[in-house]
Amino acid sequence: MFNNNTQMTEKEKMVAGLPYRANDAELIELRTQVRKILGPYNQVGMHETEAQTAMLGQILGKKGEGSWIEPPFYCDYGFNISVGKDFYMNFDGVILDVAAVTIGDNVMCGPKVQILAATHSIDPTERNFSGTELGKPVTIGHRVWLGAGVIICPGVTIGDEAVIGAGSVVTRDIPSRVFAAGNPCRVIKVI
């Protein structure tokens, strides 16, 4: 696409999974825009679900029919989040979407689930002095259940119909149709 990533905008670098500068004016503006919607979304009462549904459609890049996120909810940009139909996320959900976060149909998330596509260099010099950040896509298949307090780390893929036990920290890919749990999360049994 680009021969030289110096010709890319910081947003293009971010979306491509390359190191980018989060303090870029365009990225700051995009984060500000989504927060202007998240604030009211997180404050609207239960009797105003029609208004929240409209706001959620503005927040997410793709929202399948019947999908719902209980407020409060937090994300970086929103446009990098794609959820299938009948997705449900309970209270205090966090999706750091500096890279693509793709979630299938009929996925359920307990309260305080964190899906994190954002990361930093493990090299201390790069991390502390470059001012750059990095993102790795997260993919969650269809009919997955993430228990309360699950943390999904950058670059992870979770297969269809997997169940992740409450409080687990998922640091590597999880195959389809398994129950996995722990820190780090590991397969406990095949479903």
The tens digit of pLDDT for each residue in 147-171 reads 999 999 999 999 999 999 999 999 9
32-71 tens-digit pLDDT: 999 999 999 999 866 667 888 899 999 999 999 999 999 9
pLDDT tens across 166-190, in order? 999 999 999 999 999 999 999 999 9
Find, among 3, 8, 17, the residue nearest to 99 by Cα: 17
Nearest one of 22, 42, 164 to 97, comparing CA atoms: 22
Closest CA to 38 of 89, 75, 90: 75
- 2 falls in which pLDDT band (50, 70, 90)? very low
Average pLDDT, whole number, for the chain?
93
Please say whether the beta carbons of 8 and 30 come within 8 A.
Answer: no
| Interval 61-75: pLDDT, tens | 999 999 999 999 999
Residue range(s) defining the domain that contains residue 27: 5-190
Task: Return the DSSP state at 74.
Answer: E
Residue 131 pLDDT > 80: no
- Provide the number of structural domains found in the chain: 1
Q: Which of 62, 85, 112, 120 is catalytic?
A: 120
The CATH code of the domain that includes 82 is 2.160.10.10
For 66-119, write each residue's pLDDT tens digit: 999 999 999 999 999 999 999 999 999 999 999 999 999 999 999 999 999 999
pLDDT at residue number 3: 45
User: Please, which pLDDT band fits residue 5 given cuts at 50, 70 and 90?
Assistant: low
**pLDDT score, position 122:** 86
Q: Is 120 a catalytic residue?
A: yes
Count of other CB atoms within 10 angstroms of residue 140? 26
